[in-house]
Amino acid sequence: MSSHAFDFLILGAGSTAFAAAIKASELGAKVAMIERRTLGGTCANRGCLPSKNLLEAARIVWQAAHPRFPGLQPAPMGIDFAALINQKDDVVHAYRAQRYEQVAEGLEGLELFTGDARFDDPTTISMDGTTVGADRLLIATGSRPTVPPIPGLDSIPFLTSDLLDADEEGRLTALPESLVVLGGGYVAAELAQLFARFGSRVTIVQRGERLLARYEPELGDLLGSIFRSEGIDLLTGATVEKVQGDAAEIAVDVEVLGERRTIRSQRLLVAAGRQANTDSLALDVAGVSMTDTGFVKVNAGLQTTQPHIWAAGDVIDGQWASQLATPVGARQGRLVAENAFAGAHHVVDHAVVPRAIFTDPPIGTVGLTEAEVRRRHLPAITKVTPMEYVPRAAAIYRPEGLVKIIASSIDEHVLGVHVIGEAASEIVHEAAMGMRFKATLADFVDLIHVYPTMAEALKIGALAFSRDVSKLSCCAE
């Protein structure tokens, strides 16, 4: 095949790649896409979709056994874990067929390739004996779980977040009786609660002093307290010294506050961050520079050090305030296609990107944290308001949670909103839309909210800057 048979060559076939391919096809480009794993990338196959499916099942199980309302008797549910895994796989397969395979079939000028891609030169890719190329390329190869250099880890069986994959080796099909989770980020938190609610005895081991170290401390502290109340053993400030064991039992040697202890469990889950899928691409041959941690360097228009090669999605990590999140990558993919084939000259804008963690209660965040405000020396005021002051939270016996709002002390424009509590993953979108249009505290106060809703938390949180919200009548007026 000619090395320049295509207008646009995309490495990867996840959400970022598909957004770019769809837009490029609409603009008349002939597109090639290369994927070494499964069409649909991490989100559809082993990330967002399967995890949220099983998290909702785990929530139903927990609530049945722990009803919040007086007068409701606990009704423990039987769990057929194999059947749960099978239905999760069915959901993944159906979604992949509808949103990826059928979409690909309907794109004019798109050709799919399967194999391990490697640059031969700045415009040519080889894979398993086939050579393809284009004048414009996009690196959208995503990321994978990081495997930390822990002594003994390379010689024992362990799980990563790939355990949720619907098809590949490494997927989990049996519920472990006990599980140690290494890590304290959002993946570790979601999976720890998921397995604990299905009945596994779960221990979280993390280096930081709280869960979710990159988020507002109030969120991690409260979630950690909730996890402990649900029976999850949370070890903070812990250093893993070594691991050992076999398929029957894993032993994790840790040091916590100067004390050494050994934790034994049936399975070990490593959820210690993610790394870029760049190590096999031979980016040096293409003249594409990487960061010290292996992510692709890009400018604000997502161009690499080679102007005809772009990179987007997880593979650029947090550059230009980017986030490792599916909708962020999809937006970037479209931006790249418009820049490449419509001369759009777009640059990324990640100032307002809502994010959610699907624990129970969930977390929703958007904008700056208090620490980021301090680092930027921005004049700001902050208020933390407990969810117990939100009428609906009290009415449905979900008072646990809080809303933290950060606003400019000069003009009261809202700079950041951080919520943990019932429906936080939905509430955060109102905050994001407000921030997108430069809303002030007064704007959130003046908006009439449906009563009683959890979204009133934003109105009450804004009111808390000027009033004692413990003394409000209904409807927060």
Closest to 355 measured CA to CA, from 153, 190, 155: 190
Residue 53 lies in a domain: yes
Phi-psi region of 412 (alpha: psi -120 to 50; beta: other; left: phi over 0): left
Q: Is the pLDDT of residue 2 over 60?
A: no
From CA 356, how far away is CA 353, in angstroms rounded?
Answer: 10
* pLDDT grade for 475, boundaries at 50, 70 and 90: confident
Regarding whether 376 and 253 lie in a shared domain, the answer is no
Pairing of β 124-127 and β 130-139: antiparallel
Given a cut of 90, is residue 268 above it in pLDDT? yes
Task: Answer yes or no: is 475 within a domain.
Answer: no
Q: What percentage of the chain has pLDDT greater than the value 90?
A: 94
Number of domains in the chain: 3
Q: Does the pLDDT at position 3 exceed 80?
A: no
Answer yes or no: do 306 and 362 share one domain.
Answer: no
Q: Is the model's pLDDT at 476 over the cut of 80? A: no
**What is the distance between the alpha carbons of residues 54 and 7, in angstroms, rounded to a whole number?**
40
| Assigned domain for 348 exists | no
Give pLDDT tens digits for 407-431.
999 999 999 999 999 999 999 999 9
97-136 pLDDT tens trace: 999 999 999 998 899 999 999 999 999 999 988 999 999 9
Same-domain check for residues 266 and 324: no
pTM: predicted TM-score of the whole model, two decimal places: 0.95
Tokens 């959901």 -> residue: 91
Residue 1 pLDDT exceeds 50? no
Specify whether 437 is located in the same domain as 374.
Answer: yes
Residue 466 has pLDDT above 50, yes or no: yes
What is the dihedral angle through the alpha carbons of 114, 117, 120, 126, rounded to the nearest 10 degrees?
Answer: -20
Reduced 3-state DSSP string for 104-119: HHHCCCEEEEECCCEE
**Distance from C-alpha of 203 to C-alpha of 246, rounded to nearest angstrom:** 18
Tokens 């927060």 found at = 476
Q: Are 207 and 230 a contacting pair, CB within 8 Å?
A: no
305, part of any domain: yes
Domain, as residue range, for 386? 355-470
- Asked if pLDDT for residue 322 goes beyond 60, the answer is yes
pLDDT band at 473 (very low <50, low <70, confident <90, very high): confident
Answer yes or no: do 127 and 18 share one domain. yes
DSSP codes joined into one string, 258-325: TEEEEEEESEEEE---EEETTTTS-HHHHT--B-TTSPBP--TT-B-SSTTEEE-GGGGTTGGG--S-
Q: Are residues 204 and 241 in the same domain?
A: yes
- Please write the tens of the pLDDT for every residue from 271-307: 999 999 999 999 999 999 999 999 999 999 999 999 9
Residue 451 has pLDDT above 70, yes or no: yes
What CATH number is attached to the domain comprising 416?
3.30.390.30
Q: In what order do the strands lie in the sheet with 380-386?
A: 355-357, 363-367, 414-420, 402-408, 380-386
Report phi then psi at 205, rounded to 5. Answer: -120, 120
56 plus 157 within the same structural domain: no
* CA–CA separation, 186 and 52 (whole Å): 13
Report yes or no on 326 lying in a domain: yes
| Contact yes or no for 413/425 (Cβ under 8 A) | no
Say whether both 46 and 118 belong to one domain: yes
d(CA 252, CA 219): 27
Question: How, if at all, do strands 267-270 and 274-276 pair?
Answer: unpaired
Q: What is the mean pLDDT of residues 346-357?
A: 96
CB of 161 within 8 A of CB of 46? yes
By CB atoms closer than 10 A (0-12, 13-18, 19+), residue 417 is buried
Residues 208 and 268 in one domain: yes
Q: For residue 117, which phi and psi values (nearest 5 degrees)?
A: -80, 145
Is pLDDT of 228 > 50? Answer: yes
- pLDDT of 18 above 50: yes
pLDDT category of residue 169 using cuts at 50, 70 and 90 = confident
pLDDT at 129: 84
Residue 120 in domain? yes
CATH of residue 294's domain is: 3.50.50.60
